[in-house]
Amino acid sequence: MPNGDAPRLKTLGDLFSDDACPLCGVLKEFQASYLRQPDTGLLANVCGSHTWMIAKTAEAESAAALYLRLLDRAATEDSQSDRCDVCNHIRREENTRLKEFAGQVARPEVLKWLQQRGTFCVPHAQALLMYLPESLQNDVLLALKKRRAELRKKLVDLLQDARRKRPVHGGVLGRVAEYLVAQRGLGLRS
């Protein structure tokens, strides 16, 4: 599906600039780009989440053509499927990006980032381990452990402030949510 092709990783600085999972960020951009103008001729099954996202973000002509085809198909056959072509497209990109990132981890600047402020969501950290040699797996696990401890401390502080009826600020809850789950709007995970 060529319309959703995202450029390969630009620079490491771009990838690691946020306090968030870099793989989630790349996949969010990939999904958003694809959903603005999906290759509707190739979509046969679309999950509920992506149906709503297409309605919200796609050009009207693309969305209407897709929905018309899906509506006509639903009237003539059993169109219930637990697979979503958009989810599958994003999963393929996710696997490509995981392999690509795994090939970068041994670089000194990536190891430095990983040790100092490495941030991954739990699902991407676990998936990344499958693509890394054992010698580098420990670096990812240590970064995940460090990040968990930092977030735990922030959550404990936030909880104490909330219990004391002090004003609670910031996106600690959002950062914890991102750490716990890959946030791309995908309802399906394999």
Predicted confidence (pLDDT) per residue in 80-129, tens digit: 566 889 999 999 999 998 998 888 888 888 888 887 777 788 888 889 99
Give the lowest-confidence range in 35-39, 47-51, 166-170.
166-170
Which residue type sits at 98? L
In terms of Cα–Cα distance, which of 101, 108, 109 is closest to 125? 101
Whole-number pLDDT of residue 77: 66
pLDDT value for 78: 60
Domain ranges of the chain: 7-180
| pLDDT per residue as tens digits for the range 63-78 | 898 899 888 887 776 6
- 129 burial level (CB within 10 Å; 0-12, 13-18, 19+): middle
Given a cut of 80, is residue 9 above it in pLDDT?
Answer: no
- pLDDT, one tens digit per residue, over 159-183 is 998 899 888 776 888 778 777 766 5
Give the Cα separation of 24 and 125 in Å (integer). Answer: 11
Task: Considering only CA atoms, give the Rg of the chain.
Answer: 19
